[in-house]
Amino acid sequence: MLVIDTISELQKVLVDERSKGKCIGLVPTMGALHQGHASLVRRSVAENDITVVSIFLNPTQFNDPKDLERYPRTLEEDCRILEECGAQIAFAPCVKEMYPEPDTRQFSYPPTDVVMEGARRPGHFNGVCQIVSKLFQITDPDNAYFGEKDYQQIAVICRMVEDLGFKVNIIPCPVIREESGLAMSSRNTLLTPEEKEIAPKIYQILKQSTTLQLSIAETQKWVIDEINKVEGLDVEYYSIVDGNTLADINNWEDAPNVVGCITVYCGKTPIRLIDHIRYK
């Protein structure tokens, strides 16, 4: 596997591969790779001739500097996982390489980027669009793979791709869960053993909520109440929305796809965990 840290070197390699008619898959990551990322990389390797995995802890999408500081950095182990998955290229640039000048571009795709995470993490999705659009411009991939764990992020990126006319196919990939049901996340490594015991309750309660015969408002309230009853868990929001536009809905019949998206604070630090469940 090639490990490349400059844009010019990456583009040189990719221009060469493209001229041979090779199909390119991109898996954007911020490192601290786990089996969820590995599943994206394996899928890209199976569906493309060349898989590029970017490893870049993008500062512009962090609205909380403490969150950025705490984020795990594990480049050596990341490269080992990528080798094992069969990726051809790891692209691990430094911040100056990606942002020689501050990125002042503004992206706006309401309602997808202003509800839920967008409302609580100002600038987060703008930062995601800045880095993902740069990665698309640099690598010009045929296919790009994103985990459905960040359900809202995929909706925002799809709007950006449509808006800017990128030719890439966005491939959403299913959430990979620990045996306990907890959605895999780089942040899980920050959980204490006690927190790891209670965090799986989030998904258990979400799953249980799909069996209730309640209205949307009642289901939202039930989920929030049940999770808040667990000591150490504190729901920030639970929204049941149109699965495509992410707009709020009042009735189950209001949209063809209906998804519940949740963010929960876990433990004393606390660690912010996100998850979602599909109702239809």
Residues forming contacts to ligand PAF in the complex (CB under 6 A) are 28-30, 58, 61, 128, 131-132, 150, 153
Find the shortest distance in angstroms from Cβ 228 to ligand PAF.
27
Structural contact between residues 184 and 29, judged by C-beta atoms closer than 8 angstroms: no
Minimum CB separation of residue 253 from ligand PAF in Å reads 32
Cα gap 216→249, rounded to integer Å: 8
C-beta of 185 vs 239, nearer to ligand PAF:
185
Query: Measured from the CB of residue 98, what is the shortest distance to ligand PAF in angstroms?
Result: 10
- Look up residue 182 and give its amino acid: L
Q: At 2, phi and psi to the nearest 5?
A: -85, 135
Nearer to ligand PAF, 184 or 223 (CB): 184
Residue 44 or 219 having the CB closest to ligand PAF: 44
The answer to whether 82 touches 33, Cβ cutoff 8 Å, is yes
> Annotated catalytic residue: which of 34, 37, 124, 276?
37
Q: What minimum distance in Å lies between the beta carbon of 136 and ligand PAF?
A: 11
By C-alpha distance, which of 142, 194, 205, 197 is closest to 171? Answer: 142
Q: 50: helix, coil or strand? A: strand
Smallest distance, ligand PAF to C-beta of residue 132, A: 6
Q: Shortest Cβ distance from residue 153 to ligand PAF (Å)?
A: 6
Residue 223's alpha-carbon distances to 28, 84, 139, 272, in angstroms, are 32, 39, 42, 17
Kindly tell me which of 30 and 85 has the beta carbon lying closer to ligand PAF.
Answer: 30
Residue 108 and residue 245: Cα distance in Å, rounded?
14
**CB of 128 or CB of 277, closer to ligand PAF:** 128
Contact status, residue 236 vs residue 264, Cβ threshold 8 Å: yes
Rank residues 64 and 254 by Cβ distance to ligand PAF and give the closer one. Answer: 64
Q: What is the DSSP annotation of 55-95?
A: E---GGG-S-HHHHHHS---HHHHHHHHHHHT-SEEE---H
Known active-site residue 37: yes
Give dist(CA 33, CA 204) in Å, integer. 25
Sign of CA dihedral 45, 51, 55, 61: negative
| Residues noted as catalytic | 37
